[in-house]
Chains A and B, each alone.
Chain A
Amino acid sequence: QKEVEQNSGPLSVPEGAIASLNCTYSDRVSQSFFWYRQYSGKSPELIMSIYSNGDKEDGRFTAQLNKASQYVSLLIRDSQPSDSATYLCAVNKGGADGLTFGKGTHLIIQP
């Protein structure tokens, strides 16, 4: 079992709809969870961080964490064509640890 798993996609969503991205992780001691957005040819850009169970909202983005199910998700409301990118889920066990990434989900927002 891979440490961090994501559906590679592509995930195609109409403009204005809600995009839902999912991620599961295997290590129960994971403490910190991150979503990064990566445009083609660019470096990852932090979108959201979440540390405790529940929802965290920031503008059009909502991160959801369920540690019992080892599941983290990202919702993007009112999707825009500029949201088209690869979304990387990353976890770590604590401050001193490097991030473990999934392979990313390729999201396409159709105008």
Chain B
Amino acid sequence: DAGVTQSPTHLIKTRGQQVTLRCSPKSGHDTVSWYQQALGQGPQFIFQYYEEEERQRGNFPDRFSGHQFPNYSSELNVNALLLGDSALYLCASSRPTRGYRTQYFGPGTRLLVL
């Protein structure tokens, strides 16, 4: 049973550029959430996708956008990159189990903005 996968593992961009990160959820999972984790901090919720729509969004500017495909995979797009966008970007997938959802994380994409 494959876990959550993310690509690429590492990425280096310059300020002002745009980046797309990709995520495939665990088999049987229908919901994908994205998080940003800065060094020494806990992950911060960016947004969650379910049935190809953004269901909830955290406190992130609209430079951060996403998409979910019919096969439940997802993309995170960040436009006009800032130095402060350098972080580990985590994707987590989940499915409802007895009314609750447990999120499982992928290995992450480490983004460095120069």
Contacts and interface: CB of A to CB of B under 8 A. Distances in A.
- The answer on A and B forming one complex is yes
Contact of B56 (A34, A98, A102): A98
Interface string B77-114: 00000000000101010101001111111111000000
A43 B107 contact: yes
A95 interface: yes
A88 B43 contact: yes
Main secondary structure of the interface of B (DSSP, over half): strand
A95 B99 contact: yes
Contacts of B46: 98
A99 B13 CA distance: 28
A100 interface: yes
A96 B107 CA distance: 23
B48 interface: yes
A69 B12 CA distance: 44
Contacts of B105: 36, 43-46
Given A96-B55, A103-B41, A43 B106 contact: yes
A104 B42 contact: yes
A49 interface: yes
A84 B107 CA distance: 19
Contacts of A34: 102-103
Contacts of B88: 43
Interface of B: 33, 35, 40-48, 50, 55-56, 58, 88, 90, 92, 94, 96, 99-108
Please list the 8 inter-chain residue pairs (A to B) with the smallest Cβ-Cβ separation, ordered nearest first: A101-B42, A98-B45, A95-B101, A43-B105, A43-B108, A44-B105, A103-B42, A101-B43
